[in-house]
Amino acid sequence: MAFEPNIPPIQVHLCVKGGREAIAFYEKAFDAVETYEQMAEDGERVLHANLSMFGSEVMLHDEFPEFSSDVLSPLSRGGAGLTININLPKPGDVDHAVEQAVAAGAAVTMPADDMFWGARYAKITDPFGHVWAFNAPLEQQP
C-alpha cells in the first residue's frame, strides 16, 4: 500500500460536539492553526477541518449521529476511549502546555510530575471530552 509522502501514516481524527468552538479552543490551548475547514450542509456543524499543531496535523469533525453511531464525541459516549499523547522536547514544555490548556478551559486530570520512566508527564481533559497527555524526557544530570 503506497502512502502520500506528506501525510503521516497515523493521524488523529477527533469527533466533537461543537466543532467551531473546538477549533477556537485548540487554537487558544495548543496554538493550533486551522488549515482547512468545510461546513456541513446545515451550515452549523463542521464536516471536516484540519488543524496544524505540535508539528503534526489533527483532523476534526462534528458529530453526525443521523448518518452513523460508530463515531460519537466523548461527551455522547460518556468519556474518552483513548489518550492523545504529545511528545515534547523539554520538561518545561509539559508545564507550559498544561498551563496554556487550562487557561483556555481544560481540566488537569494528572498534574505535571517527573515520572519513573524518566519523563515529565501530565494529562488534561479538554472541554470536548478528549484526553491529552504531554510527555518530555527529563534532562540528564551531569
Q: Is 46 part of any domain?
A: yes
The pTM score is 0.92
Tell me, what's the pLDDT at 117? 95
Q: Is 4 part of any domain?
A: no
Q: Is the pLDDT of residue 35 over 60?
A: yes
Using 50, 70 and 90 to split pLDDT, how confident is the model at 140? low
pLDDT digits (tens, 9 = 90+) for 41-90: 999 999 999 999 999 999 999 999 999 889 999 999 999 999 999 999 99
* Spatial contact of 115 and 121, defined as CB atoms under 8 Å apart: yes
Q: Is 126 part of any domain?
A: yes
Q: Is the pLDDT of residue 12 over 90?
A: yes
Average pLDDT of the chain, as a whole number: 93
φ and ψ at residue 90, rounded to 5 degrees: -130, 150
Tell me, what's the pLDDT at 135? 97
CATH number of the domain that residue 17 is part of: 3.10.180.10
| Cβ-based neighbours of 34, under 8 Å, separated by 6 or more | 23, 27, 49, 50, 51, 52
Number of folded domains in the chain? 1
- Domain of 100? 12-137
Q: Is 2 part of any domain?
A: no
CA distances from 56 to 66, 92, 125 (A): 30, 20, 20
Tell me, what's the pLDDT at 69? 83
Q: Is the pLDDT of residue 32 over 90?
A: yes
